[in-house]
């Protein structure tokens, strides 16, 4: 007998009919001989409705009270799901964040989980009940309701799985798994049977929006076997696990892209201490997050400094930098919002050389110029002209043979 944690998002519990469907999935796992804990979000649209009410009352609001209002959404869905399961003849019991309890820090609206108590849930599981837990919410040390931020229900589910030492945590969503790249862009994209936590983290930070990053970090920290699968279709989904030997054979597992960045180049920067601090300090004060940074120190004593910022902050960044540019005595500043970042990701890179080379060769053969390069232990990212995004993604997907099964690949 195993212990399975299931998580269903707002779309999966959006109607009475869909709640019955979720109840059936929980019961099916229970009938297979497992203990089952289900974490659920608010019914789709409900959190937006509650946030709308808060914003209608006041543009600026107390975050503690905001959390009181928005956490009511999950309270409704857990009760309804418990009633649905009982109406099908099985025992169920719902738990709110404070009832579990999900102890968090006191940062309203963006709380982090400190501890999940497991004993009440274990007692009720042993008594034969299916347990329903409200995602997204917790309680701080003073007894205030807190929420974990948008998408926080994924993190709730993983934290529960860790506290209960679950055999698996199944995240039901509207896609049937994690793909080698965006299937809307590359028809040959292949659903992966498994992927490592680190690769998933890179994919999430590079623009793939399947799971909340914090939930993957938590799963990695506590080695929770995490599965992403569809709540609408049958299928095995994609398992997130620690690295194993099969993985090491593969250089690249997936290709990701992100068109939400813009590039800024400060030209003729004097090669003096404190120059970079002045530029990035000004951006940080304006709450602008910088992603890739490249600087080549030249022999002439001055250099170009290039970096990327979110596209939505591009205009403000150019404005913010006018003063600092004068201050440090740089020659000029120029920017380009029409770029894309394309990345190859794979834990196999650690033990294989040649990934970057293969990548550059593939792009060159399609006539795509590389503007910036950034590497980490398990990914290579390049900045290219935005209009070549699709071409580049397809080119790399083919070059690394991602359409083929892992066993059939040549690479490495």
| Contact footprint for its own copies (CB under 8 A) | 16, 19-20, 50, 53-54, 56-58, 60-62, 64-69, 71-73, 75-76, 78-80, 82-84, 86-87, 92-94, 96, 98-99, 143, 145
Distance in Å, CB of 164 to its own copies, minimum = 19
Contact criterion met (CB below 8 Å) for 223 and 237: no
Distance in Å, CB of 67 to its own copies, minimum = 8
Q: At what angle do helices 275-285 and 314-328 cross, to 10 degrees?
A: 150
> CB-wise, 87 or 315, nearer to its own copies?
87
> CB-wise, 55 or 338, nearer to its own copies?
55
Q: For residue 172, is the peptide bond before it cis, meaning its omega torsion is within 30 degrees of 0?
A: no
**N residues, the chain:** 412
Which pairs from 369-373 meet CB under 8 Å and 24+ separation? 371/263, 371/339, 372/263, 372/292, 372/294, 372/306, 372/308, 373/294
H helices of 58-196, where? 63-70, 72-87, 97-100, 119-126, 152-163
Q: At what angle do helices 213-221 and 197-205 cross, to 10 degrees?
A: 160
> CB-wise, 20 or 191, nearer to its own copies?
20
Distance in Å, CB of 141 to its own copies, minimum = 14
Distance in Å, CB of 12 to its own copies, minimum = 15
The 10 Å Cβ neighbour count of residue 372 is 18
> CB-wise, 231 or 343, nearer to its own copies?
231
Distance in Å, CB of 107 to its own copies, minimum = 17
> CB-wise, 19 or 256, nearer to its own copies?
19
> CB-wise, 75 or 230, nearer to its own copies?
75
Whole-angstrom distance, CA of residue 57 vs CA of residue 199 = 43
> DSSP per residue over 182-233, as a string?
-TTT-TT--B-SEEEHHHHHHHHHTT--SS-HHHHHHHHHTT--EEEEESSS
Distance in Å, CB of 36 to its own copies, minimum = 17
Whole-angstrom distance, CA of residue 235 vs CA of residue 229 = 7
Nearest residue to 138 via CA among 162, 166, 111, 165:
111
> CB-wise, 30 or 257, nearer to its own copies?
30
> CB-wise, 96 or 241, nearer to its own copies?
96
Residues 97, 102, 108, 112, CA torsion sign: negative
The residues with which 104 forms a beta bridge, in sequence order, are 113
Distance in Å, CB of 11 to its own copies, minimum = 17
Distance in Å, CB of 31 to its own copies, minimum = 20
Whole-angstrom distance, CA of residue 324 vs CA of residue 285 = 12
């Amino acid at each position: 007998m195993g212990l399975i944690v299931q998580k269903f998002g707002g779309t999966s519990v959006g109607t009475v009919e869909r709640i019955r469907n979720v109840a059936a999935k929980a019961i099916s796992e229970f009938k297979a001989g497992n203990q089952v804990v289900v974490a659920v979000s608010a019914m789709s649209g409900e959190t937006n409705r509650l946030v709308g009410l808060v914003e209608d009352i006041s543009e600026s609001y107390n975050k503690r009270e905001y959390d009181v209002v928005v956490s009511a959404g999950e309270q409704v869905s857990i009760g309804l799901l418990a009633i649905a399961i009982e109406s099908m003849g099985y025992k169920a019991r719902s738990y709110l964040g404070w009832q579990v309890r999900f102890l968090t820090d006191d940062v309203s609206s963006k709380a982090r989980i400190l501890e999940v108590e497991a004993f009440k849930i274990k007692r009720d599981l042993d008594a034969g009940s299916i347990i329903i837990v409200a995602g997204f919410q917790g309680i701080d040390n003073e007894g205030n309701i807190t929420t974990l931020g948008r998408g926080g229900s994924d993190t709730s589910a993983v934290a529960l799985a860790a506290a209960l030492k679950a055999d698996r945590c199944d995240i039901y969503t509207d896609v049937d798994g994690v793909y080698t790249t965006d299937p809307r862009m590359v028809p040959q994209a292949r659903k992966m049977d498994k992927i490592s936590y680190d690769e998933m983290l890179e994919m999430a930070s590079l623009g793939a929006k399947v799971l909340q990053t914090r939930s993957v970090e938590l799963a990695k920290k506590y080695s929770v076997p995490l599965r992403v699968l569809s709540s609408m279709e049958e299928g095995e989904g994609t398992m997130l696990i620690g690295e194993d030997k099969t993985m090491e054979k593969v250089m690249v597992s997936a290709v990701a892209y992100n068109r939400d960045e813009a590039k800024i180049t400060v030209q003729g920067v004097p090669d003096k201490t404190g120059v970079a601090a002045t530029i990035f300090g000004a951006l940080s004060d304006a709450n602008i997050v910088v992603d890739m940074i490249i600087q080549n120190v030249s022999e002439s004593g001055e250099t170009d400094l290039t970096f990327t910022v979110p596209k939505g902050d591009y205009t403000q960044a150019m404005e913010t930098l006018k003063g600092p540019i004068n201050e440090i005595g740089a020659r000029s500043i120029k920017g380009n919002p029409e770029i894309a970042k394309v990345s190859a990701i794979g834990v196999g890179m650690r033990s294989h050389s040649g990934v970057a080379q293969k990548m550059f060769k593939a792009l060159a053969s399609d006539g795509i110029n590389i503007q910036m390069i950034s590497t980490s232990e398990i990914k290579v990212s390049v900045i290219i002209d935005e209009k070549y995004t699709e071409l580049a993604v397809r080119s790399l997907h083919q070059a690394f043979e991602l359409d083929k099964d892992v066993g059939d690949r040549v690479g490495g």
